[in-house]
Structure 1
Amino acid sequence: MSVAQGSAATGRTRWKRFATVVVPASFIAGAIVFGQATGAIAASFNVSGSQFKVSADRLEGTGFVQYGGMATEKGGNPSNPADPKNHPVAVSGIAKAKLYNLCQSVKVPGLPVTMVIHAGKDANNPAEATDLLIDLTSLKGDATFDNIQIGIDASDLTKGGANAKGLQGGFAQQADGVVITNLKQVAWSTTAGTFKLSGLDLGISTGANAEECF
């Protein structure tokens, strides 16, 4: 994890182009996989073989946590770190989130077809989510955190919701709030207690230049 151009003040840290991979690869490949196999981490469902893209002009979150995890495709063995169906991820949890001008896109494997969802284009009616959990492989944007704690034990996380915890001894961070502008992320999965998509617009884009969020 690196800090590029930005500024810091008491209880407030700003990172330009925030990188989400905050957990050493050896920890992800070993302890996280073991934790899933023994029930220490709940894997809620098997992921598909496709990642998807999400962008938003602005994300405003109350209660933010981040720690290491593993996304597993159907047929994968979460107790085997070498299984190619296991994918190390950075888990981001947000207790309450608002997303302005949200876009989600996913390519259909083997076809020049993309499914695209837009929501929250009206600045007065953003998309909203509660108990949001995202299995990320990439996240870019300009981020500002309120009262951030970096290096907290993953099992002691309290700000991202009841299910947003990692293994004891794992590296994690949490903050009272987060704002990310020009958000661009690639993820394996998203879960939420509630997800309100104001002005939902779902479409299919085809061809060599099929639409994607970015």
Structure 2
Amino acid sequence: MSHRVGRTHWRRFATVLVPGVAACATLGIVMGEGALAASFLISGKRFTVTADTLVSRGLSSYGMVDVTKRGELVPVQVVGSRRATISGLCQSVLIDVPVLGPQTLKITGGNERPVEASNLFLDTTFQSAGEADFRNFDMGIAQGEITKGPINPGDRDSRFFDPSGFGQQATSVTLTDVHVTAVALTAGTFNVPGLRVRIEQGRHECS
């Protein structure tokens, strides 16, 4: 039986429920309709995403294991959202280039108008937020029983998906000062107003 909480307010939020919608700035790509399956091999490269504010409607969170091209296993927490709006997005990837040294690929957007996204799935290794406000929040639900938020079709068919495993869900959540480290992203639709992409010499990751 689910335990419903009308409103949960956590100032120091560092658990496994920060929605991955913030990381949709990862490649700055507006994807086509329909969520993509999370069945591809990941590079294993971690990227950083921050956001000023994030509002997610239809939230899910569950454990999975991703596989790299080299066959390495990477434990992750998948966070899904049916629909989300994000303000002040910043995404960065640190790349070591021979001779030139470290280079930072940085992507920003959603400063004047919020980013709008749907059917988002982010595979995370770290999540935090300065403040989180949940509505109708369930913690400890079996992963196979999650209904308020989406389950990636590719994950549901994976040998690493445990229907009886630990899951979380909420009808909505509002986050501020979001910080995420992730290894993969899939999305249905993703619109980024004011998208900017640049490469900077040295280490200039989002903070």
Share of identical aligned residues, percent?
Answer: 42
The structure-2 alpha-carbon separation of the partners of 1:48 and 1:183, relative to structure 1 and needing over 3 Å to count, comes to: same
- Whether 2:90 is the aligned partner of 1:103: answer yes
> How far 1:44 sits from its partner (Å)?
2.0
2:5/2:137 contact within 8 Å kept: no
Equivalent residue in structure 1 for 2:204, among 177, 190, 211:
211
Whole-angstrom distance in 2 between the partners of 1:178 and 1:53 = 21
Whole-angstrom distance in 2 between the partners of 1:99 and 1:21 = 19
The structure-2 alpha-carbon separation of the partners of 1:179 and 1:101, relative to structure 1 and needing over 3 Å to count, comes to: same
TM-score by length of 2: 0.79
Alignment correspondent of 1:50: 45
Whole-angstrom distance in 2 between the partners of 1:44 and 1:135 = 12
2:85 counterpart letter in structure 1: K
> How far 1:162 sits from its partner (Å)?
5.1
Per chain length, whose mean CA-contact separation is higher, i.e. which structure has more relative contact order (CA < 8 Å, sep 6+)? 2
Q: Name the count of aligned residue pairs.
A: 175
RMSD over aligned Cα, in angstroms?
A: 1.9
Alignment correspondent of 1:178: 173
1:115 counterpart letter in structure 2: L
Alignment correspondent of 1:160: 149
Runs of 4+ more than 6 Å apart: none
SS at match of 1:155: helix
> How far 1:109 sits from its partner (Å)?
3.3
2:104/2:199 contact within 8 Å kept: yes
SS at match of 1:50: coil
Equivalent residue in structure 2 for 1:112, among 97, 102, 119:
102
Structure 2 gaps of 5+ residues are 18-36
- Whether 2:129 is the aligned partner of 1:144: answer no
The structure-2 alpha-carbon separation of the partners of 1:10 and 1:148, relative to structure 1 and needing over 3 Å to count, comes to: closer
Whole-angstrom distance in 1 between the partners of 2:44 and 2:96 = 9
